[in-house]
Amino acid sequence: MLLTIDIGNTNITLGVFEGNSIIHSWRLSTEITRTEDEYGVFLKNLLRETDMDKKITNAIISSVVVQLTEKIEIALKKYLNITSFIISHKIKTNVTLKTDDKSQIGADRIANACAVSKLYKTPAIVVDFGTATTFDIVNNNNEFIGGIITAGMKIQAEALSSKTSKLPKLNIEAPKDAIGKNTIDAMLSGIVRGHAAMIDGLILDCEKELGEKATIIATGGYSAVICNYLKRKFDYINPDLTLIGAKILFDLNR
């Protein structure tokens, strides 16, 4: 069995694959200050609860948090005797990376591009709702040509509460109306509906540059919150897209 790990700035997502199917998955808070031993004990106990600790033979890591990549890699080797494979621009992929500087491409974006190339009709645009909201674009020549990076909804909410004297902290949830009748509803409308309007506009701009309509795939924690506010609906919502891409990359490189 294969353990796939996506280390993001806010969350760490794990998935266990048996064949091509995810049979278990977890989402943890990203904690940079944890030691490799703390992560090792935690992961071993987590996998033991589902009787997976002795069945996993390999792991692949997608990480955008440099400080944690080596910690998780060492933890897996020390506590589970698993050797990890790290996703980077240097490995074999099923898409051609066509950007100015391949070393700047996040591992999660490489995994997303590889997943959509195999699973969906291209050209395709992945909208990934994480700490940042990113667009990953694969054209109809099977080339990852880049995309867009913007502040995610959580960052927007935190910025409003931390940079103003009267606006409160809030949890991201669906706003009822465009016109908020109180501060919380007004903030939620601006963040969620504003994000949706931005996505609608950026998709149109990307399709204009691509010269044709694209398949739109959403992934990440907030995709279900925002989908009802889009004029251009997502063709697919796939919460496991990055983990699936990691599995594809592992199969290509083993």
Q: Is residue 81 part of a domain?
A: yes
Q: What is the reported pTM?
A: 0.91
Looking at 86, 110, 139, the residue that finishes a domain is 86
- Are residue 172 and residue 220 in the same domain, yes or no? yes
pLDDT band at residue 129 using 50, 70 and 90 as cut-offs: very high
* Catalytic residue numbers, as ranges: 108
pLDDT, residue 170, reads 80
Q: Is residue 254 part of a domain?
A: no
- Are residue 105 and residue 52 in the same domain, yes or no? no
Total domains in the fold of the chain: 2
DSSP 109-167: HHHHHHHHHHHSPSSEEEEEESSEEEEEEE-TTSEEEEEEEEE-HHHHHHHHHHHSSSP
- Are residue 105 and residue 80 in the same domain, yes or no? no
Least confident of 7-11, 97-101, 219-223, 246-250: 219-223
pLDDT in tens, 113-127: 999 999 999 999 999
pLDDT band at residue 162 using 50, 70 and 90 as cut-offs: confident
Residue with tokens 């995309």: 147
122 within 8 A of 139, measured Cβ to Cβ: yes
- Are residue 132 and residue 75 in the same domain, yes or no? no
- Are residue 153 and residue 213 in the same domain, yes or no? yes
DSSP collapsed to 3 states, 191-203: HHHHHHHHHHHHH
- Are residue 113 and residue 234 in the same domain, yes or no? yes
- Are residue 144 and residue 232 in the same domain, yes or no? yes
- Are residue 194 and residue 73 in the same domain, yes or no? no
Question: Which of 141, 123, 153, 133 is CA-nearest to residue 219?
Answer: 133
pLDDT, residue 164, reads 84
pLDDT in tens, 173-221: 888 889 998 998 898 999 999 999 999 999 999 999 999 999 999 998 7
Domain containing residue 179: 96-246
Q: Within 10 A of 140 (CB to CB), how many other CB atoms are there? A: 13
Residues 107, 132: Cα–Cα separation, whole Å: 14
Least confident of 13-22, 47-56, 192-201: 47-56
Q: Is residue 91 part of a domain?
A: no
Element (H, E) at 43: helix 36-48
Looking at 86, 110, 126, the residue that finishes a domain is 86
pLDDT, residue 206, reads 97
More confident residue, 161 or 17: 17
- Are residue 77 and residue 143 in the same domain, yes or no? no
214 within 8 A of 124, measured Cβ to Cβ: yes
pLDDT band at residue 52 using 50, 70 and 90 as cut-offs: confident
User: How far is residue 90 from each of residues 54, 61, 248, measured CA to CA in Å?
Assistant: 30, 14, 15
Residues 120, 139: Cα–Cα separation, whole Å: 12
- Are residue 107 and residue 33 in the same domain, yes or no? no
CATH at residue 220 = 3.30.420.40
pLDDT band at residue 90 using 50, 70 and 90 as cut-offs: very high
- Are residue 103 and residue 22 in the same domain, yes or no? no
**What average pLDDT score do residues 52-73 get?**
93
Mean pLDDT of the chain: 93
